[in-house]
Amino acid sequence: MAQETRVFVVTAQEAASLQERLQQQLPPDAEWRTVPHARFSVKALGVLATCYHSGKLVVQGRGLGAFETRFLDALGALAAGGSSSTATSPTQDPRIGSDESGKGDYFGPLVVAAVHADPEQIRWLQAANVADSKTVSDSRAQTVAAQIERTLNHRVVSLMPEQYNKRHGEVGNLNVLLAALHAEVLAPLIQAHGPDQVVMIDKFAAPELVQTALADLGVHPTRLLCETKAERYPVVAAASLLARSAFLRGLAECADLCGTDLHKGAGAPVDRAGRRVLEIGGRELLAKAAKLHFRNTSKISR
């Protein structure tokens, strides 16, 4: 019999409850281990179970089925996918996801998007091979984003540079601003579909930042999770495509306003374009096309 691996998403309360049950009910020879970033890790009954502070519970071994029935069914733990000989059902994926675009781009807006999908819509996203926007061409991102906009409940907020510069100057911290924008797009979807929906965010900072921003809006999701490379989840991949498409539209608007080609990123071609913008309209025009706190501003102003 092949060894199986399953990955579950659990809340802090569920993790604490599971740890207590394991400590009480596992046999005396259970091997408790210390694992970096883990709440607990234990090897017993033919499985190794490791629960991370992120909310991810990884269970692997030949006795996985019996362990899951005995300890996890009562928790209602939610399978989140991973390497496994047992396929993860689309109904077990996060239903709401958010991602941003333009964070590392000197020109153009900062965009954050969120998407909700029910199980049937998640299957549609999977069948369409929806992927992280960074792995597809601009034209493909815009084409698929248009289909997502027609099909799924979503929210997008796009801060054009002039507004971005104002709000960044007010908060003085990009992660705080991002948390507010994620909350702004997530809140209406959580309110519309219920606080028990699993919400997944492509990680940019501690999830507490977003939780606080949502609480300020009166929204308290039961399960709010942040993971790096969260675009592996269909709803986050869909959000990344919406955000990328909106960023590209905003960048084109900035280029039209400046009367010159602008570039993505923050490298040498961007500096050359920035100098052209300064020559055309000075710092006033630059402030309408670029994120002024980037180091590019000081480089092109010399």
Rounded to whole angstroms, the Cα distance separating 69 from 79 reads 13
Residue 110 located in a structural domain: yes
The number of folded domains in the chain is 2
Rounded to whole angstroms, the Cα distance separating 234 from 200 reads 10
Residue 161 located in a structural domain: yes
Please check whether residues 110 and 155 belong to one and the same domain.
Answer: yes
Of 5, 11, 2, the C-alpha closest to 48 is 5
Q: Across 117-243, where does the E strand assignment appear?
A: 153-159, 198-202, 223-227
Please check whether residues 73 and 133 belong to one and the same domain.
Answer: no
CA 283 to chain centre: 34
Q: What is the pLDDT of residue 86?
A: 33
Residue 271 located in a structural domain: no
Please check whether residues 121 and 214 belong to one and the same domain.
Answer: yes
Please check whether residues 60 and 150 belong to one and the same domain.
Answer: no
Residue 268 located in a structural domain: no
Please check whether residues 14 and 50 belong to one and the same domain.
Answer: yes
Q: What is the pLDDT of residue 51?
A: 92
Q: What is the pLDDT of residue 84?
A: 37
* CATH number of the domain encompassing residue 237: 3.30.420.10
The answer to whether 126 touches 81, Cβ cutoff 8 Å, is no
Range of the domain at 124: 96-253
Q: Where does residue 150 rank: exposed (0-12), middle (13-18), buried (19+ CB within 10 A)?
A: exposed
Tell me the three state secondary structure of residue 117: coil
Residue 281 located in a structural domain: no
Q: What is the pLDDT of residue 90?
A: 33
Please check whether residues 129 and 202 belong to one and the same domain.
Answer: yes
CA 131 to chain centre: 13
Q: What is the pLDDT of residue 75?
A: 57
Q: Where does residue 236 rank: exposed (0-12), middle (13-18), buried (19+ CB within 10 A)?
A: buried
Please check whether residues 147 and 39 belong to one and the same domain.
Answer: no
Among 65, 88, 111, which residue terminates a domain? 88
Q: What is the pLDDT of residue 81?
A: 41
Among 68, 88, 108, which residue terminates a domain? 88
* CATH number of the domain encompassing residue 54: 3.30.310.10
Q: Residue 72: phi, psi to the nearest 5?
A: -100, -25
Please check whether residues 106 and 180 belong to one and the same domain.
Answer: yes
Rounded to whole angstroms, the Cα distance separating 265 from 290 reads 11
Of 129, 131, 118, the C-alpha closest to 92 is 118
Please check whether residues 103 and 249 belong to one and the same domain.
Answer: yes
Neighbouring residues of 70: CB distance < 8 A, sequence distance ≥ 6: none
Please check whether residues 29 and 84 belong to one and the same domain.
Answer: yes
pLDDT, averaged per 10 consecutive residues of the chain (302 residues), comes to: 68 84 90 92 93 86 79 55 36 79 97 94 83 79 92 97 97 95 97 91 87 94 86 91 96 97 95 96 97 96 82
